[in-house]
Amino acid sequence: MAEILKENIDFRRFWLGDGASQFAAQATTFGMPLVALELLDASTFEIGIVNSFATSAFLLVGLPAGVLVDRARQQRTVMVWADVCRFALLAVLGIGALLEALTLAQVYVTALLVGTATVLFDVAHQSYVPRIVPQESLVQGNARIAATQSVAQVAAPTAGGLMLSLTGAKALPVVLAACFVLSTVFLLRIRVREKSSGSVPPRARMWQEMSDGLKYVLKTPVLRAIALSTGWFNLFALVIQSVIAVRLVRDLGLTAGYVGVYFALGACGSVAGALSAQLWAARLGEERVIWMASAFTAPFAFLIAVPNSPSTFVLAGLGYFTMAAGATVFNVAQLSLRQRICPPDLRGRMNASIRFLVWGTMPFGGLLGGAIGSAWSARTALVLGAVGLSTACLPLLLSLARQPVAHGKHRAIHTAAGDERAESDCA
């Protein structure tokens, strides 16, 4: 992986810009519920709504985003504008907080619009990587990016929790806005010129293009299994995420700093998973590691619901660490497989369709977690979330585990290059 950074200066600039953007995005996910909790004394259900709005964009604009990315002459430009928009939104939110004029409605709107910009950035990001990284280095490149994102997941909650402890929630949005500016600077320094594939007719209807991408994913067995499993996993991951701050702060009496430590431990697991993903894929095979990573690590989520006092907090961190490690190994393997089997001119629509299916469940998870936490308890929501995460591997087991690994990869590639390609192109 070091050779990618040493020999490919454009990848290095992209890597740094993406790292800054991911840091800010992760800190926003961590910070927005706590801003609502500390500055506006939001209820458990209202915090669930904040999480739901933050992820609703993947459901609302996920598919059009793929068409826009495929149509864009420069996918880097899409990422730059996404960063600029997030900077402006968080700056306005920060000004409102500093002037003590913040409202819950503003938090909702900001969460939704920041999420929309994040959708565009992420779809363009996944489609852009194969343009600056050779196919034979995709696993290494994706592993490097995943490791950096995991470091951002460690640093963002830790830094956010420390800042909340020292200065309160008012200063957090302003700092996050500055991070998006830093990301923009690095992305603008990329010098590689993108070439438009020209495969999408200029007058093609957006709905038809979106439909083609979605059909490709649903009719390709390996992509369909990945989408079903990941969508189910994300649904229940948001059930846990929507109530974890309530459980730790209100139920157990911990400070916001402990919430940051919790997310940091999970992000450390992501780093471990990213650094070992290439090794696991080489030893077990790309398809086998996809279902094994999910099946053997997700049940550790039950440990998140165990703590009933500050002294047992470490169990929640251990559960999140292990679960996140497996999820990252899964993500690196499945993303590299998707990028390899999808034609370049359809990567945007493929990635958008996958994101629509797997992230579109997250708003419902946020609402479900908030509703269960309000009706029963935050701990009940955590247990339900762990049950859901533990069963997320079933579509993968039914589709991938029963296929001979030695031939599974070729079967997926033939499907993508043959019948499915006539319908549309997806990654």
DSSP label at residue 74: -
pLDDT of the residue at 247? 84
Domain contains 399: yes
Inform me whether the pLDDT recorded for 130 exceeds 60: yes
Give 77-135 as a DSSP string. HHHHHHHHHHHHHHHHHHHHHHTT---HHHHHHHHHHHHHHHHHHHHHHHHHHHHHS-G
Q: Is 350:296 a contact under the CB 8 Å cutoff?
A: no
Domain contains 163: yes
Domain contains 151: yes
Domain contains 193: no
Q: Which two tokens mark 89?
A: 């939104």
pTM for the structure as a whole:
0.64
Range of the domain at 292: 2-187+205-423
Express each pLDDT in 78-113 by its tens digit.
888 999 999 999 988 888 888 888 888 888 988 889
CA dist 30 and 288 (Å) reads 32
Express each pLDDT in 361-417 by its tens digit.
877 888 888 888 888 988 889 999 889 998 888 888 877 655 543 333 333 323 222
CA dist 70 and 349 (Å) reads 7
Express each pLDDT in 219-244 by its tens digit.
778 788 888 888 899 899 889 888 88
Q: Is 239:384 a contact under the CB 8 Å cutoff?
A: yes
Query: What is the number of domains present in the chain?
Result: 1
Between these two residues, 339 and 203, which has the higher pLDDT value? 339
CB atoms within 10 A of CB 3: 9
Domain contains 198: no
pLDDT of the residue at 26? 78
CA dist 415 and 216 (Å) reads 10
Domain contains 196: no
pLDDT of the residue at 203? 47
Q: Is 332:1 a contact under the CB 8 Å cutoff?
A: no
Express each pLDDT in 170-192 by its tens digit.
777 887 888 899 889 988 888 76
Inform me whether the pLDDT recorded for 333 exceeds 50: yes
Q: What percent of the chain has pLDDT over 90?
A: 5
Q: What's the CA angle centered on 133, arms 273 and 71, to 5 degrees?
A: 110
Domain contains 114: yes
For residue 145, what is the domain's CATH number?
1.20.1250.20
Domain contains 200: no
323, HSE (Cβ side, Cα atoms, 13 Å): 30
Q: Which residues are CB-neighbours of 425 under 8 A, at least 6 positions away?
A: 199, 212, 213, 216, 342, 343, 345, 346, 347, 349, 350
